[in-house]
Amino acid sequence: MQIKAAVINNKGEDFEIGTVELDPPKMGEVLVKMVASGICHTDMNVKNQTHRVPAPAVLGHEGSGIIEEIGPGVTEFEVGDHVVLGFASCGSCRNCLQARPYACARHAELNFGGKMEDLTSRLHRGDERLSNFFGQSSFASHSVVNARNAVKVPKDVDLALLGPLGCGLMTGAGTVFNRLQPRPGSSIGVIGAGAVGLSAVMAASIVGCNPIISIDVHENRLKLARELGATHTINASETPDLVSAIRSLTDGGAEFVIEAAGHPSLLRQAVDALAPLGTAVQLGGLPQGTEALIDSNDLRSKSKTVAGLVEGASVPRVLIPQLIEFYKAGKFSFDRLVAFYPFEAINQAGLDAHDGRVIKPVLRFS
């Protein structure tokens, strides 16, 4: 079928919206009519080729939509179901079988390799193959996805709002709920007040962490962080010694620090700001090959832990419905992060996110 899609043709170029061909769903797949798609920092990194995906490609990995067609072998969905699309996983490796799809042995291949699980693409432009992305390529009017990627969601919530739950919001909240699992009263610092960082702040508030320290360079984002649950904020642009500032608010060191801004020097500061036995988690995306320096003696002598993590250590079909329930209860107000754009304004939306004018741009399809 012919669909409308935003194609990235070459490194650093703007998205080009045009008509492409989409193959029908194969065994275990479904066709989804897209309602909306969030723009994630990873999409922009790939667009600029700091994360390499074969071009030309259709990006997008925070999609939400309505199932239009069921492929062979799919029994858990019906036409008309509302779904949020998550990341791709193989479903058969050791980690997938242990309910750890975020650590799938084929994660890099299936999400960044440009092909679906059967090593073919569903997208074409004439005789030219277009790379799939994250098993969904949601910057398009329609998407064919493995049913395993789709999460059924209730129809009483605005479907256009829900797409970012499939990556950025799940990453921040899942890191708190699934990886760190803090007890009420635990101290936590979150470096970066974008969609990932603010989702972590809201999750920490749900758990009952105290203090919850949000760190950023934009005062408007810090104000929002306080409204969403942060007990303290630090403007890093006005704070020459970030480590001392965090320590002063946490009786000598935080139990947990999340680095969600994507800068190698910040990981070092996150680790240095930890209390003994503390854990720092790096979520911020960095170019491939980036190295970060850490004081190994401090790490050893104070029994600190440093972890990297993707997708918030989440099982999407478990966490996404939970986040929706928290939202409906007024505890996870992620709608305050969202700014809607028409699909045709994708390049402006990406620019606004890059320049800090919006936190989570979401594209609506007409």
pLDDT digits (tens, 9 = 90+) for 158-209: 999 999 999 999 999 999 999 999 999 999 999 999 999 999 999 999 999 9
What pLDDT digit, counting tens, does each position of 74-91 carry? 999 999 999 999 999 999
Measured distance CA(192)–CA(222) in Å, rounded: 9
Q: What percent of the chain has pLDDT over 70?
A: 99
Arithmetic mean of pLDDT, 36-55: 86
Q: In this structure, what token pair is assigned to residue 325?
A: 């329930």
What pLDDT digit, counting tens, does each position of 271-283 carry? 999 999 999 999 9
What is the number of alpha carbons within 13 Å of residue 364 lying toward its C-beta?
10
pLDDT score of 51: 64
Which residues touch 105 (CB under 8 Å, ≥6 apart)?
A: 90, 93, 94, 95, 96
Indicate the CATH number of 172-310 among 3.40.50.720, 3.40.50.300, 3.50.50.60, 3.40.50.2300: 3.40.50.720
Measured distance CA(202)–CA(55) in Å, rounded: 36
Are the C-beta atoms of 11 and 48 separated by less than 8 Å?
yes
pLDDT score of 238: 95
What pLDDT digit, counting tens, does each position of 114-150 carry? 999 999 999 999 999 999 999 999 999 999 999 999 9
Amino acid, res. 196: V
Are the C-beta atoms of 169 and 199 separated by less than 8 Å?
yes
CATH 3.90.180.10 residue window(s) in the chain = 2-166+333-364
Measured distance CA(114)–CA(99) in Å, rounded: 24
Tell me the whole-structure pTM to 2 decimals.
Answer: 0.95
Q: In this structure, what token pair is assigned to residue 245?
A: 């500032």
For domain 2-166+333-364, the CATH superfamily is: Medium-chain alcohol dehydrogenases, catalytic domain (3.90.180.10)
Are the C-beta atoms of 7 and 20 separated by less than 8 Å?
yes
Are the C-beta atoms of 271 and 264 separated by less than 8 Å?
no
pLDDT score of 349: 96
Could you give the C-alpha distances from 137 to 4, 88, 154, 244, in angstroms and in order? 12, 11, 23, 43
Lowest mean pLDDT among 43-52, 191-200, 347-356: 43-52
CATH 3.40.50.720 residue window(s) in the chain = 172-310
pLDDT score of 185: 98
Statement: residue 257 has pLDDT above 90: yes
Number of neighbouring beta carbons within 10 Å of residue 65: 30
